[in-house]
Amino acid sequence: MRTLSLILLAVPLMAQKHGAGRTPTDQEIRGLGATVAPDGTGLPEGSGTPAEGRALFAARCAKCHGEKAMGDVGPRLVGGQGTLATAQPVKTVGSFWPHATSLWNYINRAMPFNQPGALSHSEVYAAVAYLLEINGIIGPKDTMNARTLPKVRMPNRDGFVPDARPDIKR
Amino acid sequence: MAKTSRRQALRLGAALGSGALAQGEEARLLGTPLGPYGERSRHVTSVRTMRQTRTPEAGSSATPLAETYGIITPSALHYERHHAGIPDIDPATHTLTIHGLVERPLVLTMAELRRLPSVSRIHFLECGGNSGGEWGAKTGPDVQRSYGLASCSEWTGVPLRLLLEEVGLKPKASWLIAEGADACRMQRSVPIVAALDDAMLAYGQNGEPLRPAQGFPLRLLTPGWEGNVQVKWLRRLHVTDQPYMTRDETSKYSDLMPDGKARLFSLPQEAKSVITFPSGGHTLDRPALLELTGLAWSGRGRIERVEITFDGGATWRDARLDEPRFRLAFTRFRLPYRWDAKPAAIASRATDETGYVQPTREQLIAARGANSGYHFNGIKFWRIAAGGQVTNADA
């Protein structure tokens, strides 16, 4: 994304003008919950393995995503690698998502769909580990945590380009 | 009736098949009394349509564009697109936290936000996936079900710039990670670019507080950009030096090209227009002079021109644009149209203030393939049959 040209707002660092609001404590900011950058900044403690994730997925995710994660009420979460440039692209976590960290961030905030926020941080690592493993991205013995997850290289890591519009000239 | 004799009146009444029409014969009923909150007439029944889904909390509902007048969408008919349902938020306890690469992190209550200098402006809001069915064969039969994920309101709020000045951006600050208070804590990365000069933290919509479905009590409004980035139920802005590549800006709302690469952050909604009358589902019952009308909008500024074709795109005529025309807002266009009971293929073509002309569907597919899914703004044809039935030409 470095190529995305940014014209920064000319925001002057002037003295506080309206004095609205108050300064939050660090604890209050942490209390808002984890938010994770592609380089892993913001990932919390905890860890999970594909094996732990397999059990969790069967219990908490499979009823919507299917036993083999092939999709049902919720979208398909496995396969599709090599299809993006074809007439029938299959976009999944494994084939499309550029960053493994985004997967942790999303599952932590939004899944299970009917109980978002219910998983512990380690359960989220386990779910991520399982999805990465069934997509052939990590091995069955690889443990995911704040140090290992950012190092995972997703197959479609370089598959994104900046907005090129307007792309149609008269 | 004033000079009609009683006998004449009685005869008139009888002739009209009613026993007691004459003035003075029977008193008229009083209407209903005053009320604290207005309802629309029971004879007015237009509603949003909802797509079939097993997870209605992560679905969309569409505005009946052909049943609205002018440029403002009634708040109750504003389109919806949610990913985890509509939260029930008490504005007395809701707060917005701004932190990260700032000099002075802040937490603000709604009361504090409402006390700050504010602006009110008319802007459209459109889902990045609106009319996405037109890329393929999944489009809807009428303008509501094919183009209805777009609406236009007057929004009131605090300019984002004012709050960024209030917290003081650090030199490396270049993105805002916006987060909602809905169950999925919707999260989008927002580049801090010049276009954000139009952005506001909105708490008002069409003269009243935001409707819950549009983000009550607070939403991000980045006028002209795709709807998803304008995070509803806004609870925090985390200022960073990079986008966070969240699910809804990578897995979703990115445009997949034929070479397998996907474009990211296609934020402005490009110039677009659609005829709302006559449009799919309408029937023209007899040859007549009609008023053709529709809506045009652009995420890059004001609409300057809308042209209409009646012959499938061979010839075009300028439509009249309602004034005033606002930047980044619906513009209503109109053109008298004599329908002579012959088949026709009608469409509108918008040009915005940058000179950009709404492309054809074929041009879009030539440039992006048919699998990009989002950000479709092609010229929209409706087919009028000799019998007057109007259908979606692309369905």
For B283, B384, B388, the CA distances from B339, given in Å and listed in that order, are 12, 10, 9
8 Å CB contact between B299 and B353: no
Nearest residue in B to A16, CA atom: B166
Vertex A41, ends A40 and A47: CA angle to 5°?
55
What pLDDT sits at residue B22? 58
A26 and B CB contact within 8 Å: no
Nearest neighbour of B270 by CB, restricted to A18, A110, A166: A166
How many angstroms away from the CA of B329 is the closest CA of chain A? 19
Inspect the interface and report whether the beta carbons of B356 and A4 lie closer than 8 Å: no
Using an 8 Å CB-CB cutoff, list chain A residues near B256.
Answer: 84, 89, 91
For B26, B221, B226, the CA distances from B130, given in Å and listed in that order, are 54, 18, 9
What are the residue ranges in chain B where pLDDT is below 50? 1-7, 9-15, 19
Q: Which of residues 353-382 of B touch A (CB under 8 A)?
A: 354, 356-357, 359, 363-364, 367-368, 371, 375
Using an 8 Å CB-CB cutoff, list chain A residues near B165.
Answer: 11-12, 14, 17
Rounded Cα gap, residues B307 and B338, in angstroms: 16
Per CATH, the number for B58-260 is 3.90.420.10
A62 and B CB contact within 8 Å: no
A3 and B CB contact within 8 Å: no
Inspect the interface and report whether the beta carbons of A23 and B105 lie closer than 8 Å: yes
Q: If we measure between CA atoms, which residue out of B17, B7, B29, B328 comes closest to residue B150? A: B328
For A27, B16, B61, the CA distances from B8, given in Å and listed in that order, are 86, 12, 55
What pLDDT sits at residue B195? 82
Nearest neighbour of A166 by CB, restricted to B97, B246, B356: B356
Nearest neighbour of A9 by CB, restricted to B196, B242, B257: B196
Q: If we measure between CA atoms, which residue out of B77, B30, B86, B25 comes closest to residue B57? A: B86
Domain positions in chain B: 58-260, 272-392
Bridge pairing between strands B288-297 and B331-339: antiparallel
Q: Is the peptide bond before B36 cis (omega within 30 degrees of 0)?
A: no
Write out the E strands in B252-358.
Answer: 255-256, 262-264, 272-277, 288-297, 303-309, 317-318, 320-321, 331-339, 344-352
B93 and A CB contact within 8 Å: no
Q: What is the pLDDT along chain A (170 residues), one digit of tens a residue?
A: 333 444 445 444 444 579 999 999 999 999 999 999 999 999 999 999 999 999 999 999 999 999 999 999 999 999 999 999 999 999 999 999 999 999 999 999 999 999 999 999 999 999 999 999 999 999 999 999 999 999 999 999 999 999 999 999 87
Nearest neighbour of A13 by CB, restricted to B84, B103, B105: B103
Mutate to test the interface with B, among A30, A32, A76 (most CBs of B within 10 A): A32
Q: Which amino acid is at A141?
A: K
Residue B292 region, left (φ>0) first, then alpha (ψ -120 to 50), else beta?
beta
How many angstroms away from the CA of A155 is the closest CA of chain B? 12
Question: Could you read off the pLDDT of A71-119 as tens digits, one per residue?
Answer: 999 999 999 999 999 999 999 999 999 999 999 999 999 999 999 999 9
A98 and B CB contact within 8 Å: yes
Rounded Cα gap, residues B53 and B246, in angstroms: 24
Nearest neighbour of A38 by CB, restricted to B107, B115, B245: B245
Residue B219 in tokens = 């939403």
Nearest neighbour of A162 by CB, restricted to B238, B260, B263: B263
Tell me how far apart the terminal alpha carbons of chain A are, to the nearest angstrom: 29
What pLDDT sits at residue B25? 81
Inspect the interface and report whether the beta carbons of A1 and B184 lie closer than 8 Å: no
Using an 8 Å CB-CB cutoff, list chain A residues near B58.
Answer: 113
Q: If we measure between CA atoms, which residue out of B175, B297, B155, B161 comes closest to residue B221? A: B155
A99 and B CB contact within 8 Å: yes
Domains of chain A: 1-32 (no CATH), 35-151 (1.10.760.10)
Question: Could you read off the pLDDT of B82-101 as tens digits, one per residue?
Answer: 999 999 999 999 999 999 99
How many angstroms away from the CA of B209 is the closest CA of chain A? 21
Using an 8 Å CB-CB cutoff, list chain A residues near B187.
Answer: 35, 105, 109
Q: If we measure between CA atoms, which residue out of B150, B147, B27 comes closest to residue B78? A: B150
Inspect the interface and report whether the beta carbons of A21 and B162 lie closer than 8 Å: no
Q: Which of residues 119-158 of A touch B (CB under 8 A)?
A: none
Q: If we measure between CA atoms, which residue out of B94, B255, B246 comes closest to residue B175? A: B246
Mutate to test the interface with B, among A7, A160, A169 (most CBs of B within 10 A): A160
What pLDDT sits at residue A169? 82
Mutate to test the interface with B, among A28, A154, A165, A170 (most CBs of B within 10 A): A165
Inspect the interface and report whether the beta carbons of B235 and A8 lie closer than 8 Å: no
8 Å CB contact between B131 and B270: no
Tell me how far apart the terminal alpha carbons of chain B are, to the nearest angstrom: 53
Domain range B272-392, CATH class:
mainly beta
Rounded Cα gap, residues B243 and B224, in angstroms: 20
DSSP letter, residue B167: H
What pLDDT sits at residue B137? 74
Residue B110 in tokens = 């709604």
B111 and A CB contact within 8 Å: no
Nearest residue in A to B194, CA atom: A9
Using an 8 Å CB-CB cutoff, list chain B residues near A20.
Answer: 106, 108, 112-113, 115-116, 166
